[in-house]
């Protein structure tokens, strides 16, 4: 496996009626919600009849091998689109009913073709809808792929891949996404290298955060199963909400893209969302997604920001430019184009236009991508300057930040390959750093020097260094494996919190079925689970995976994070691991950052699962934001809690206490209430 492929692997680690209460909350929250069209009984019956036929045809298709599963998903996305539209009432005019019927009919046609061993859309040129099964929740998710004329990636030609992130649409759903892309003609590629284009659905409107971010990488992996994609020539583009997504994904994952284009959108939260007050915990969690905090990573990836001069959202790229100026980079402006000195940053302003890309700017942006995609990602980039606030985003080419001194405080590493030596000039707020052993023969960190190329016997590709008592020390093979296996149960990549992070990878909700210690607490937990399921269905476009506590298997524990609802009396999985969690919970008391009466207080937390430290366990929580935030601007989809909180069972929205565990998953002593 190449270093590039390994990097991708590291990153990529139906039908229940929507409850009226959630629908009401969502509609009340969204200003200017489009009015819904109510299909007649006859229209509903006709659509349901076709859905039943498609469902029956789907159940007869093979789902064994990966190729069969992909073909099944290519059909299932049409069934999911019609089912979701009907059950969630997502019809905004009479034409939407006809469009949904047409989508289901298209699915029936595909089902007949697959049953006969054919999939003509797989080899066609132009745009085609495809599907995959998400590892996050097992849902089927659509994406669109465009293959231009003259490109033969299945015949051995490795192709450039352009990943396109769509903007927000208040009426966007699977039907409208399919309508927009299915069966469109091949793109013209005059003056531009032919490339496969991937249009990501991203689970709807979420600015490609949380499971929406996972969708981007899962869709890329799905395309790579079907076509020969050049990992070194993947271009990321987005506009409006997609621009916000491109700022986020481009700067958080700087080593994955040949070039990035972020059009309009937003790059910070406070000003864009007009936040007047931000709680202490929320202030820290804003550092997870605020792209402006990661502006320095533009040093590691070619990135272009765009905005029309009449568009208020041009501020997104202005924010990044100003942040780069504050970091000492000089900017040179030539008309409506600004370039960074010593950094591959380009800001383009469309003349006389609002929220769109004008032809002249499009030409400049295409030339930017063509230049960088032709060269591909520089795997051997000599100088890296990388910043992060969380181990969720911890890699830049041959450097990986393995452990932080403190999450949500700025961590910076500045390193350069000088001949056969790696020189680390700065490593702030970093406790463990690993370096690809192929980067050089020796390494200097500050004033200390160590061997690198043959430093540690064994097969580990990286060499590890830990900072302790003011000095760095090189770890031997066993100590390095201890870091990789997280033997000390420290916060590390993809196991660092906060609570919302549990829903970016495979998870399973576990409902307690036993006798609760406190019925009020159990009822509160059940209500949270129900609300989470309703909101996940509406806003993350999937069915919440749920099992009873009596049904959890060893395979579940091995492969998924467990989201436990109830108390130690009602949930047997919770009772099994209680002694190994960072809280005290008896029939009379809850101890978590303070002491609370158990009869009417509920602990909420995220921690490594004591049964499998490679996955999370979460108590009594789904996403810490909800329908109001989903329905508003996507900038509001940041955590409202940290790693833990305690709620009153009679006051559901405001925690009594909330905070973050330290790097060893313990409540900091300074945070414990007296």
Residue 205 DSSP class: S
Nearest to 656 by CA among 667, 645, 666: 645
3-state helix, strand, coil in the chain (%, to 5): 35, 25, 40
Whole-angstrom distance, CA of residue 599 vs CA of residue 519: 8
pLDDT at 33 over 70: no
Name the least confident of 30-39, 110-119, 132-141, 421-430. Answer: 30-39
pLDDT, residue 155, reads 61
At 286, the pLDDT band (50, 70, 90 cuts) reads very high
Residue 339 pairs with which residues in a beta bridge? 332, 346
Instruction: Set out the domains of the chain in order of their start, with CATH numbers.
Output: 408-485 (no CATH), 499-671 (3.30.379)
Q: What is the full DSSP assignment across 262-313?
A: EESS-S-STTTTT-S---HHHHHHHHHH-GGGGGGGGGSS-EEEEEETT-GG
Q: For 246-269, how does the pLDDT look when each residue is reduced to its tens digit (9 = 90+)?
A: 999 999 999 999 999 999 999 999
Q: Starting from the edge strand earliest in sequence, which strands make up the sheet with 337-340, in order?
A: 126-133, 140-147, 195-200, 159-165, 229-239, 259-263, 303-308, 345-350, 337-340, 331-334
Tens of pLDDT, residues 645-671: 999 988 667 899 999 999 999 999 765
Spatial separation of the C-alpha atoms in residues 350 and 398, rounded to whole Å: 37
- In this predicted structure, which of 3-7, 32-36, 266-270, 374-378 has the lowest mean pLDDT? 3-7
Residue 22 has pLDDT above 60, yes or no: no
Strands 612-619 and 561-565: parallel
pLDDT tens, position by position, 558-593: 999 999 999 999 999 999 999 999 999 999 999 999
CA dihedral of 298, 498, 493, 288, whole degrees rounded to 10:
0
Q: For 440-494, what is each residue's pLDDT tens digit?
A: 999 999 999 999 866 556 668 899 999 998 999 999 989 999 998 888 899 999 9
| Residues paired with residue 400 on neighbouring β-strands, in sequence order | 395, 434
């Amino acid at each position: 496996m190449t270093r590039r492929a390994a990097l991708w692997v590291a990153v990529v680690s139906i039908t229940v009626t929507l409850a009226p209460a959630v629908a009401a909350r969502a509609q009340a929250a969204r200003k200017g919600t489009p009015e819904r069209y109510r299909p007649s009984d006859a229209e509903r019956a006709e659509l349901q009849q076709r859905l039943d036929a498609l469902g029956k045809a789907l159940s007869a298709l093979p789902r064994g091998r990966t190729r069969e599963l992909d073909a099944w998903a290519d059909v299932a996305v049409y069934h999911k689109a019609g089912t979701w539209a009907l059950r969630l009432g997502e019809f905004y005019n009479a034409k939407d009913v006809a469009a949904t019927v047409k989508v289901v009919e298209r699915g029936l046609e595909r089902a007949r073709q697959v049953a006969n061993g054919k999939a003509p859309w797989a080899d066609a040129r132009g745009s085609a809808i495809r599907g995959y099964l998400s590892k996050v929740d097992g849902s089927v998710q659509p994406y669109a792929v465009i293959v231009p004329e003259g490109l033969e990636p299945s015949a051995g030609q490795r192709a450039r891949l352009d990943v396109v992130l769509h903007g927000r649409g208040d009426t966007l759903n699977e039907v409208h996404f399919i309508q927009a892309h299915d069966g469109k003609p091949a793109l013209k590629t005059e003056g531009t290298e032919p490339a496969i284009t991937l249009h990501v659905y991203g689970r709807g409107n979420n600015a490609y955060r949380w499971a929406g971010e996972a969708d981007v990488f899962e869709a890329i992996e799905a395309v790579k199963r079907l076509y020969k994609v050049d990992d070194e020539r993947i271009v990321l583009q987005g506009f409006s909400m997609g621009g916000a997504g491109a700022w986020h994904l481009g700067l958080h994952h700087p080593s994955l893209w040949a070039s990035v284009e972020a059009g309009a959108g937003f790059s910070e939260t406070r000003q864009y969302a007009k936040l007047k007050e931000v709680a202490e915990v929320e202030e820290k969690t804003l550092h997870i997604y605020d792209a402006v905090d990661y502006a320095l990573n533009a040093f590691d990836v070619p990135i272009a920001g765009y905005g029309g001069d009449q568009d208020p959202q041009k501020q997104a790229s202005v924010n990044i430019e100003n942040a780069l100026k504050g970091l000492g980079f000089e900017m040179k402006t030539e008309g409506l184009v600004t370039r960074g000195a010593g950094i591959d940053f380009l800001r383009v302003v469309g003349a006389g236009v609002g929220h769109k890309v004008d032809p002249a700017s499009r030409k400049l942006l295409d030339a930017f991508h063509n230049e960088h995609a032709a060269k591909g990602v520089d795997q051997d980039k000599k100088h890296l300057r990388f910043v992060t606030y969380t181990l969720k985003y911890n890699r830049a080419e041959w450097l990986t930040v393995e452990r932080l001194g403190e999450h949500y405080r700025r961590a910076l590493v500045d390193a350069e390959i000088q001949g056969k030596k790696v020189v680390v000039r700065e490593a702030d707020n970093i406790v463990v750093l690993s370096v690809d052993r192929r980067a050089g023969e020796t390494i200097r960190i500050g004033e200390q020097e160590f061997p690198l190329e043959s430093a540690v016997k064994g097969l580990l590709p990286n060499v590890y260094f830990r900072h302790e008592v003011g000095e760095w020390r090189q770890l031997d093979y066993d100590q390095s494996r201890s870091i990789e296996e997280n033997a000390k149960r420290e916060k590390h990549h993809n196991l660092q919190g906060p609570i919302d992070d549990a829903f970016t990878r495979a998870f399973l909700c576990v409902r307690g079925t036993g006798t609760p210690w406190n019925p009020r607490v159990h009822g509160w937990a059940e209500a949270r689970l129900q609300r989470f399921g309703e909101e996940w269905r509406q806003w993350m476009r999937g069915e919440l995976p749920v099992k009873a506590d009596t049904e959890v298997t060893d395979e579940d524990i091995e492969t998924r994070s467990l989201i436990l609802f109830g108390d130690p009396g009602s949930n047997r999985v919770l009772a099994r691991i209680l002694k190994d969690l960072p809280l005290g919970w008896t029939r009379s008391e809850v101890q978590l950052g303070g002491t609370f009466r158990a009869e009417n207080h509920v602990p909420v937390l995220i921690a490594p699962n004591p049964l499998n430290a490679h996955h999370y366990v979460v108590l009594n929580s789904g996403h810490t934001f909800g329908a109001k935030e989903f329905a508003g601007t996507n900038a509001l989809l940041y955590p409202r809690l940290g790693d833990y909180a305690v709620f009153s069972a009679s006051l559901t929205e405001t925690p009594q206490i909330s905070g973050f565990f330290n790097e060893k998953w313990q409540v900091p002593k300074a945070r414990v209430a007296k």
